[in-house]
Every structure is written in C-alpha cells, then in structure tokens.
Amino acid sequence: MKYRCGIFDLDGVLVDTAKYHYLGWKKLADRLGFSFTVQQNEALKGISRMAALDLLLEIGGLGDAFSQQEKEQMAAEKNGYYLEYINQLGEEELLLGVTETFERMRKARIRIALGSASKNARLILKRLHIEEYFDVVIDGNLVKKAKPDPEVFTMSADRLGICYSQCVVFEDSLAGLQAAKAVGMTAVGIGERENLRIADYICRNVGEFVWEQ
Ligand code: BG6
Ligand code: MG
C-alpha cells in the first residue's frame, strides 16, 4: 500500500454530527429572525466555530451588527444547542465502514490520525468508543489556523513523522479538501461530487475507499 497514514476529519466523515452542527446554527438563525438552509450550511462545514458564526451572520445580513462579546455569546449559545445533541450520541451514529476501516488499517500498520476543527472532538470520540484507534488526535483546541489552512493535517503527519505525500485525508468539506491538497496529501471527498469537486476521489463513506489504487 502506498499510504502510511490516514487522516480523518470527524464531523460528517466518521459520525453523522454534521446535521447537528446545522441544527444548532439553524436554531440560532431562527432566534435572530432569518432562514438558513441545508445548502447554505455547506459553506460552514469544516471551518472553525467563530468563522462559521461570521458566515452565518453574513447570510442573515447581520455581518456587522454585533460586538465581539456578543458574537462569543452567540457561538456559546450554538455550542449549547449542539452539545444537547452530542450528549445523546451513540455508537449507532458512527458512519458506515468506520470500524472495519480502522481494523484493516491497524493490520496493515497504516497509522490513524484525527484532523478535526472541532473543539468537541475528544468528547465525541469518547462517546463513540473509538478513541483508542487513534495514533494522534489533532483538534480545534490544538491548531492556531483553521481549515482551509492545512495546519491540522500537517501537525498530524509531523507528529507521526510521515511525509505528506504518504497521507490520505478523508473530508466532507471543501475547506478540508483544499487544506489537504495544499500540502500534497491525497484528498478523498466523502459525499456528493457537486460539493466536493476538487477531491482526488469521491466515496460515499470511508469504507468505500480502495487503499491499493
Ligand atoms: C468541524 C465542522 O468539524 O468543526 C464545523 O465541520 C464546525 O461545522 C467545526 O464549525 C468546529 O466545531 P466545534 O465543535 O468546535 O464547534
Ligand atoms: Mg467534516
């Protein structure tokens, strides 16, 4: 196999939490009095909580309406809604093929890394009982620059001492695919080609990826 490491985004790749991020932002948008659609939510995927809030407010025509302190309160409000869902999260919400892929990678001695923008990543891994699979976990608490900056992926590869061309990144967001491609990692888009045009490969889930190609 040509890859020595798989770097996995979390939300929307390993677990179906992307829908809970959407519902959290939608509750905030509802309270602020504007509509927010699933298609508009595509642009919020993969980016940091504060960057997502800025985009949401722009969508609602409220780009300059709030102070930094008010924005921090709104981000915390959304995270509160999100955590209500996460606290109910169970292993049945792991996406198709995840555990089988990790088992196969372990046998083939391919390292397993998490590269997520989320500050809730550790909590989610614990709830899903998959934390033990990871050789390294890089999340939103560790990086200074959010996707599309590649820091979250380069930090994973650097900690493992693996060169970037031997890493394959699994991502459901355009920002994440841009980050992977910027440093020469293979980029696998999880989802629809329409939203993920720049991916090297498109799969419906991580189990579909053919490691030998
Ligand atoms: C990413 C999600 O994984 O994490 C984004 O795709 C989210 O939608 C980002 O904004 C930050 O997550 P959190 O859990 O720190 O608010
Ligand atoms: Mg994602």
CB of 120 within 6 A of ligand 1: the answer is: yes
Which atom of ligand 1 lies nearest, measured to the CA of 140? 15
CB of 44 within 6 A of ligand 1: the answer is: yes
In the predicted model, is pLDDT for residue 1 greater than 70? Answer: no
More confident residue, 195 or 139: 139
Nearest CA to ligand 1 atom 16: 49
CB of 119 within 6 A of ligand 1: the answer is: yes
pLDDT at 34: 98
Which atom of ligand 1 lies nearest, measured to the CA of 139? 15
Residue 194 — very low, low, confident or very high, per pLDDT cuts 50/70/90? confident
Average predicted confidence (pLDDT) for the chain: 96
Mean pLDDT of 100-116: 97
pLDDT at 161: 98
Mean pLDDT of 126-147: 96
Cα–ligand 2 centroid distance for 171 (angstroms): 6
pLDDT at 195: 82
In the predicted model, is pLDDT for residue 179 greater than 70? Answer: yes
Mean pLDDT of 56-77: 97
Which atom of ligand 1 lies nearest, measured to the CA of 119? 15
Query: Is residue 9 among the annotated active site residues?
Result: yes
Cα–ligand 1 centroid distance for 107 (angstroms): 31
Nearest CA to ligand 1 atom 1: 46
By percentage, how much of the chain surpasses pLDDT 70?
100
Site of tokens 């001695």: 109
pLDDT at 193: 86
Indicate yes or no: pTM above 0.85.
yes
Query: Is residue 16 among the annotated active site residues?
Result: no
| Residue of 207, 196, 199 lying closest to 181 (CA atoms) | 199
Mean pLDDT of 162-189: 97
By percentage, how much of the chain surpasses pLDDT 90?
95
